[in-house]
Amino acid sequence: MTEYLILQALNGLIIGLIYALMALGLTLIFSVLKIVNFAHGELYMLGAYFSYYLAKMFGFPPVLAVLSSIIIVFFLGVVIEVLFLRPVYTGAVERKDEYAILITFGLSIFLQNLALFVFGPWTRRSPSFVSGTTSFCSLSISNDRLVVSALAIVFMVATLIIIGRTFIGKGLRAVSQDREAAAIAGINPFKMNLLAFGAGSALAAAGGALIGPIFLIFPTMGAMPVIKSFVIIVLGGMGSIKGCIIASLILGEAESLGSVLFPDLTRGLAYKNAIGLLFLVVVLLLKPTGLFGEKHVRMK
């Protein structure tokens, strides 16, 4: 039983890391652009498809396919920002919050159906990073899951270093904390919007491309993870990067362990999503700003 719980905790950690990548992207976009990107799940889906096709049709090695896909989606995010989200900041639309919700929501539906049309309805799977399984005592875990968690950690640490230590990253944080002050300091907020949306999209794509060999690729694959990401950023405190990562890991573990420790064993899986949401409700009751909520980014 102990072995089982350990392995289960490990599984929860892996899921949590993937959640974290995606939620980190959502947080980045939210803190800099102050909009909630409802099309985030579709960027995740596109990341997975691009990586799949690069590997299958052009014979890219899996890791290279993932990296290329991330770069492609970065630029896709930049294009989306310029075409659809610019009006929010140039004052071209009057009710910018409503506009942002509608435009990203519409984009989500459009991209989902475009994928259904272009890629077809059949479920796909990216080639394995490393095939086979690794055994621990009597239990085994697939190599793909190990590689994916390692890569997820690499991407996450890279993101944290960029945001925390580099000048560009500090600039992003500065814009997120005070747009006007950043402009006074000479930071062009439009460029930062571009960068944040591109990077946020790239993080979603990283999650999708990594999950490809484990959880399969289909046009609606982003629907569940994006809801999880919303839960995570609220749980962690809107806009908090630390909160976002910690909340991801907590959610991954809560779902993973919750569903096996659930009193009625036969219902454990059925209540998996509910466990995470229950956790969210409890946290919000005790701390309405989330675990690490920062006041300045709270939604009005």
Residues that bind other proteins in the complex, under the rule CB under 8 A: 1, 4, 7-8, 11, 15, 112-113, 116, 120-125, 131, 133, 138-142, 167, 170-171, 173-174, 177-178, 180-189, 215-216, 218-221, 223-224, 256, 259-260, 265-270, 272-273, 294, 296
SS3 170: helix
133: β partners: 142
Nearer Cβ to other proteins, position 9 or 71?
9
Nearer Cβ to other proteins, position 5 or 71?
5
Question: What is the closest distance, in whole angstroms, from the C-beta atom of residue 183 to other proteins in the complex?
Answer: 4
Question: What is the closest distance, in whole angstroms, from the C-beta atom of residue 141 to other proteins in the complex?
Answer: 7
Question: What is the closest distance, in whole angstroms, from the C-beta atom of residue 295 to other proteins in the complex?
Answer: 9
CB 210 within 8 A of CB 220: no
Question: What is the closest distance, in whole angstroms, from the C-beta atom of residue 215 to other proteins in the complex?
Answer: 4
Nearer Cβ to other proteins, position 156 or 179?
179
Q: Which contacts of 240-243 are long-range, i.e. CB under 8 A and separated by 24 or more positions?
A: 240/27, 240/290, 240/291, 240/292, 240/293, 240/294, 240/297, 241/24, 241/27, 241/28, 241/160, 241/163, 242/292, 243/290, 243/291, 243/292, 243/293
Question: What is the closest distance, in whole angstroms, from the C-beta atom of residue 218 to other proteins in the complex?
Answer: 6
Nearer Cβ to other proteins, position 219 or 290?
219
Distance between CA atoms of 133 and 51, rounded to whole angstroms? 22
Q: What are phi and psi of 162, to 5 degrees?
A: -60, -45
Nearer Cβ to other proteins, position 71 or 270?
270
Nearer Cβ to other proteins, position 71 or 185?
185
Question: What is the closest distance, in whole angstroms, from the C-beta atom of residue 268 to other proteins in the complex?
Answer: 7
For residue 133, what are its two tokens?
A: 């399984």
H or E segment and range at residue 262: none
